[in-house]
Amino acid sequence: MRVVTADQAINLIREGDTVLIGGSGGGHAIPESLILALEHRFLEEGKPGKITLLHPVGIGDGQGQGVDHLAYRGLLKRIVTGAFVNSPAIAELAKEDAIEAYTLPQGALSQLMREMAAGRPGLVTHVGLHTFIDPRYGGGRQSLSAKEDLLEVITLAGQEWLFYKPFKVDIAFLRGTTADEQGNVTMEHEAVFGEMLSMAQATRNAGGVVIVQVARLSQGDTLPPKQVKIPGMLVDLVVLDPDQRQTYQVDFSPAYAGELRVPLTDISPLAFDARKVIARRAALELFPGAVCNLGAGVSTGIANVAAEEAILDQIVLSNEQGLIGGAPASGMDAGAGINYTAMIDQPYQFDFYDGGGLDLAFLSFAQVDARGNVNVSRFNGRIIGTGGFPHISQNAKKVIFSGTLTAGGGDISWSEGLTVIQKDGRYPKFVSQLEQITYNGRFGCEREQEILFVTERAVFQLSSAGLELIEFAPGLELEKDIFAQMEFRPQVSPILREMDARIFRADPIGMASDLAKKPHTNIPSRLRE
């Protein structure tokens, strides 16, 4: 192992290389100094060019940080990632067809790192079937020049699977907290572990170069062996950046690092608005001991609701980055969390999700059609990608999709528990045609999932017959306030009822007493005998 500058490390990159970048979302364990050094070299020298960029999780703050530093014509040939929501400049290159762009499931890419490390032929999984990830419906392509098939449909044991092909990695950009003189790397201050070990193994076994950015150096043989996440035998170069931030928003939070638990009063209650109403109604699906995932967007508000209602310790919230328990962070820091009980590597979290370990998945939606298909990946001229959405939505026992009924400038308030719509949004979200299918409603029904769609004014359930209205907000007219704001007419339940009136008032609604009356339904059957 050698300690070098970021510029020295970047000089090893050659034309046409595949560069693998670790880290997650809004700055979590992202080797920002290495990314910046690659940008600077390209601007000064016009090389290296035709780079393939590979990163399982979207990387950036949406305002120029992260991989948006590399959004130059000629620098990138191809990008394969879970999401572009963090890197709008890269998304623009994809829209302009200036690069070959693919968005594949975050977990599949994460798990693929292990397959590559082991020299196995690729990843076989059901995740992504019957969505735009499926080669029969697009193969995850987000630009016209993306011609290569990065996955294929295979039949194994009489069942269809998706086979994700491996990549040969030339250079890996990884990050930790401390490196010793032998190159052993710990991650004690990082907000997530990601899949740093698998990435290092995959790169080394492919004959590539592993470069790790850290905040500090230590004497050899002084790091606690059980804290070493990347053994020195896998590390070629170490780059020191004492100013690296824990996330793009936070220099360092001991709570994000798991060094302390903060009072629940530090978790701010949501403002009383549509987001809170939706999060409350979704949270009514919770039961004691429920193992849950909170997706991005409005669904992250469930952690705030659970803290305000003093039920956070009665459920298990998790995120796909590997945190279990506590309260997942929202906004730009989504992916981090506080008061968690465990942090595991991301591939293992997705293993648990893919195997059906989630009791409840709380996910946001952008568009929904009459068959219960959901689009979150590409809509209204925006390329977003999938993130972990296909894994979570496809495999949870019960899925609660959340969002407002309309989008674009709506104005809704509540008075004495009644919904008052001053102005509807300009765009319907329940539409007749989706640009991409990120969740297949029919496939979910075939897998016997329970599927709900929660909005601020209506709740729908999905069956094999299609979308059905089961609840509506007090004070609304069905025709004017719900059906007229949809591009299709859903079925109506014969036992249509009003939504719980408590969720439309500002005060806490007493979820703790609700939960106390519900059984633990996820206990193994033999323990209930």
CATH number for the domain that contains residue 143: 3.40.1080.10
Cα 376 from Cα 383, distance rounded (Å): 9
Cα 354 from Cα 392, distance rounded (Å): 7
320 is catalytic: yes
Say if 249 falls within a structural domain. no
- The DSSP call for residue 134 is S
The tokens for 419 are 């919904």
Determine the 3-state secondary structure of 159 from DSSP: strand
Q: Does one domain contain both 307 and 375?
A: yes
* Sequence-ordered list of residues with C-beta below 8 angstroms from that of 117, at least 6 positions apart, any chain: 198, 201, 202, 205
Determine the 3-state secondary structure of 4 from DSSP: strand
Say if 250 falls within a structural domain. no
Q: Does one domain contain both 202 and 299?
A: no
Cα 405 from Cα 481, distance rounded (Å): 10
Which of these, 273, 276, 278, 277, lies nearest to 401 by C-alpha position? 278
Q: Does one domain contain both 413 and 292?
A: yes
Tens place of pLDDT per residue across the chain (529 aa): 899 999 999 999 999 999 999 999 999 999 999 999 999 999 999 999 999 999 999 999 999 999 999 999 999 999 999 999 999 999 999 999 999 999 999 999 999 999 999 999 999 999 999 999 999 999 999 999 999 999 999 999 999 999 999 999 999 999 999 999 999 999 999 999 999 999 999 999 999 999 999 999 999 989 999 999 999 999 999 999 999 999 999 999 999 999 999 987 788 899 999 999 999 999 999 999 999 999 888 888 999 999 999 999 999 999 999 999 999 998 889 999 999 999 999 999 999 999 999 999 999 999 999 999 999 999 999 999 999 999 999 999 999 999 999 998 888 999 888 899 989 999 999 999 999 999 999 999 999 999 999 999 999 999 989 999 999 999 899 999 999 999 999 999 999 999 999 999 999 999 999 999 998 888 888 887 7
User: Out of 115, 320, 468, 471, which one is annotated catalytic?
Assistant: 320
* Sequence-ordered list of residues with C-beta below 8 angstroms from that of 448, at least 6 positions apart, any chain: none
Q: Does one domain contain both 198 and 274?
A: no
Cα 13 from Cα 30, distance rounded (Å): 18
What is the length of the chain? 529
Which of these, 461, 402, 448, lies nearest to 274 by C-alpha position? 402
Say if 247 falls within a structural domain. no
Say if 256 falls within a structural domain. no
Q: Does one domain contain both 137 and 221?
A: yes
Q: Does one domain contain both 183 and 67?
A: yes
The tokens for 209 are 């170069």
Query: How many domains would you assign to the chain?
Result: 2
Q: Does one domain contain both 468 and 502?
A: yes
Say if 393 falls within a structural domain. yes
Cα 231 from Cα 396, distance rounded (Å): 34
What is the domain range of residue 358?
265-518
Say if 470 falls within a structural domain. yes
Crossing angle of helices 106-117 and 346-354, rounded to 10°: 110
Q: Does one domain contain both 85 and 205?
A: yes
Q: Does one domain contain both 269 and 233?
A: no
Cα 129 from Cα 132, distance rounded (Å): 8
pLDDT at 528: 76
Q: In Å, how far from its chain's centre is CA 231?
A: 27
Cα 484 from Cα 357, distance rounded (Å): 38
Q: Does one domain contain both 188 and 319?
A: no
Q: Which phi and psi (to 5°) does residue 389 adopt?
A: -55, -45
- The DSSP call for residue 480 is I
Say if 214 falls within a structural domain. yes
Q: Does one domain contain both 276 and 147?
A: no
**Long-range pairs of 155-158 with CB within 8 A, sequence gap ≥ 24:** 156/124
Cα 312 from Cα 314, distance rounded (Å): 6
Say if 245 falls within a structural domain. no
Cα 437 from Cα 374, distance rounded (Å): 6
| Alpha-carbon torsion, ordered 418, 421, 427, 429, to 10 deg | 10
Q: Which amino acid is at 292?
A: C
Q: Does one domain contain both 162 and 90?
A: yes
pLDDT at 88: 97
* Sequence-ordered list of residues with C-beta below 8 angstroms from that of 204, at least 6 positions apart, any chain: 210, 234
